[in-house]
Structure 1
Amino acid sequence: MTLLAIDIGTTHCKAGLFTDNGRSLRIASRMMVTHQTPEGWVYYDPEEVWSTVAATIQDVTQAQPESIAAIGIASMAETGLLVDRSTGQTRSFFVPWFDPAAQPSAALVQSRSDALECYLKFGLRMNFKCGLAKLLWLLQRNPGLLKDTIWLSAADYAAYRLTGVFGTDYSLACRTFAFRVDRKEWDLDWLRDWGLPPGTFPTAVLSGTPLGGVTPGNILPAGIPVSICGHDHVCGALAGGAIQPGIVFDSMGTAESLLGALPERPLTEADFRIGLLYGCHAVRGGGYWMGGVSASGGSVEWLRSLFGNKPLSYQELDALLEEADPDPTGILYFSYLLGSGSPHTNPYMRGAFIGLSALHGRANLLKAVLEGVAYEVELIRRAGEKMIGQPIRSLVTAGGGTRNRHWLQVKADVSGCQIEALAEPASTLLGAAMVSAIGVGLYAGTAEALSALPARAVEVFKPDAERNAIYKRFFEQGYLALQEPLRRYYSNLPPFSTASVSLDE
Structure 2
Amino acid sequence: MSVVLACDLGGTSFRAALVDREGEARATHVIQGPTTRDRLGWSEIDPADWWRALIEAASALREAEPTLFSKIRAVAICGVTRTQVFLGRDGEPLRHAITWRDARAERSVDALSATLPQDHPERAQINAFHPLARLAWLRDEEEACFRRVTTILDPKDFLNFKLTGQRASDPISMARLAAAAAPAADGRSLLDAIGAPRSILPELREPTADVARIRDDLPAPFDSLAGVPVICCSTDTWAAVAGLGALQDGFAYNISGTTEVFGVMSEERGFADGLMSVDWRGLFQLGGPGQNGADTVAWLMSLLHPGDAISPPPVAARLDALLSARRDPQPLLFLPYLQGERTPYWDPSLRGAFIGLNRAHGAGDLAWAVLEGVAFLNRVVMERAESALGRRVSEIRFGGGAASNPIWRQIKADICERPVVTPVAPEPGLLGAAIVAWTGVGEFLTISDAQHALVKATRRYEPDPTRAAAYRKLFDLYRRSESALAAISRDLAALARQSGALPGVHGPLFTFGD
Normalised-by-shorter TM-score class: 0.7 to 0.9
Q: CA offsets, 1:472-497, max 9 Å, x none?
A: 12213x12234333334546777254
Tell whether 2:247 aligns with 1:278: no
Cα distance in 2 for residues equivalent to 1:39 and 1:139: 21
**C-alpha displacement at 1:159, in angstroms?**
0.8
Aligned partner of 1:132 in structure 2 is: 132
Once the two structures are superposed, the pairs formed by residues 308-457 of structure 1 within 5 Å of their partners are: 308-310=305-307, 313-314=314-315, 315-325=317-327, 329-453=330-454, 456-457=456-457
RMSD: 3.0
Closer, same or farther in 2 for the Cα pair 1:225/1:394, shift >3 Å? same
Cα distance in 2 for residues equivalent to 1:167 and 1:278: 22
Aligned partner of 1:258 in structure 2 is: 262
| TM-score, normalised relative to structure 1 | 0.86
SS at match of 1:406: helix
Identify which range, 360-369 or 376-385, moves more after superposition.
360-369
User: For the Cα contact (< 8 Å) 1:131–1:177, is it kept in 2?
Assistant: no
Query: What amino acid is the match of 1:72?
Result: A
**C-alpha displacement at 1:303, in angstroms?**
2.5
Cα distance in 1 for residues equivalent to 2:149 and 2:389: 42
Tell whether 2:104 aligns with 1:101: yes
Query: What runs of 5+ residues in structure 2 fail to find an aligned partner?
Result: 499-514
Closer, same or farther in 2 for the Cα pair 1:39/1:350, shift >3 Å? closer
Cα distance in 2 for residues equivalent to 1:353 and 1:414: 18
User: For the Cα contact (< 8 Å) 2:340–2:351, is it kept in 1?
Assistant: yes
**C-alpha displacement at 1:457, in angstroms?**
4.4
Aligned partner of 1:307 in structure 2 is: 304
Percent identity of equivalent pairs: 27
**C-alpha displacement at 1:287, in angstroms?**
2.1
Query: What amino acid is the match of 2:263?
Result: L
Query: What runs of 5+ residues in structure 1 fail to find an aligned partner?
Result: 500-505
Query: What amino acid is the match of 1:76?
Result: V
Aligned partner of 1:486 in structure 2 is: 485
Closer, same or farther in 2 for the Cα pair 1:463/1:182, shift >3 Å? farther
Identify which range, 149-158 or 329-338, moves more after superposition.
329-338
- In the alignment of these two chains, the number of paired residues is 482
Aligned partner of 2:507 in structure 1 is: none
Cα distance in 2 for residues equivalent to 1:181 and 1:473: 45
Closer, same or farther in 2 for the Cα pair 1:462/1:143, shift >3 Å? same
Aligned partner of 1:503 in structure 2 is: none
Query: What amino acid is the match of 2:266?
Result: L
Closer, same or farther in 2 for the Cα pair 1:66/1:369, shift >3 Å? closer
User: For the Cα contact (< 8 Å) 1:402–1:421, is it kept in 2?
Assistant: yes
Cα distance in 2 for residues equivalent to 1:370 and 1:35: 25
Cα distance in 2 for residues equivalent to 1:38 and 1:334: 22
Closer, same or farther in 2 for the Cα pair 1:80/1:174, shift >3 Å? same
Cα distance in 2 for residues equivalent to 1:18 and 1:179: 37
Compare relative contact order (CA 8 Å, sep 6+) and give the higher one, 1 or 2. Answer: 1
User: For the Cα contact (< 8 Å) 2:132–2:191, is it kept in 1?
Assistant: no
**C-alpha displacement at 1:369, in angstroms?**
1.9
Aligned partner of 2:77 in structure 1 is: 73
| TM-score, normalised relative to structure 2 | 0.85
Aligned partner of 1:57 in structure 2 is: 58
User: For the Cα contact (< 8 Å) 1:72–1:436, is it kept in 2?
Assistant: yes
Closer, same or farther in 2 for the Cα pair 1:346/1:191, shift >3 Å? same
Cα distance in 2 for residues equivalent to 1:12 and 1:237: 18
Query: What amino acid is the match of 1:473?
Result: K
Closer, same or farther in 2 for the Cα pair 1:471/1:498, shift >3 Å? farther
Query: What amino acid is the match of 2:295?
Result: G
Cα distance in 1 for residues equivalent to 2:373 and 2:17: 35
Aligned partner of 1:459 in structure 2 is: 459
Aligned partner of 1:112 in structure 2 is: 115
Cα distance in 2 for residues equivalent to 1:121 and 1:2: 41
**C-alpha displacement at 1:428, in angstroms?**
0.9
Which of 71, 92, 95 lines up with 2:95 in the alignment?
92
Q: CA offsets, 1:383-419, max 9 Å, x none?
A: 1212322112422111121232222222222122222
Closer, same or farther in 2 for the Cα pair 1:458/1:114, shift >3 Å? farther
Closer, same or farther in 2 for the Cα pair 1:308/1:76, shift >3 Å? closer
SS at match of 1:414: helix
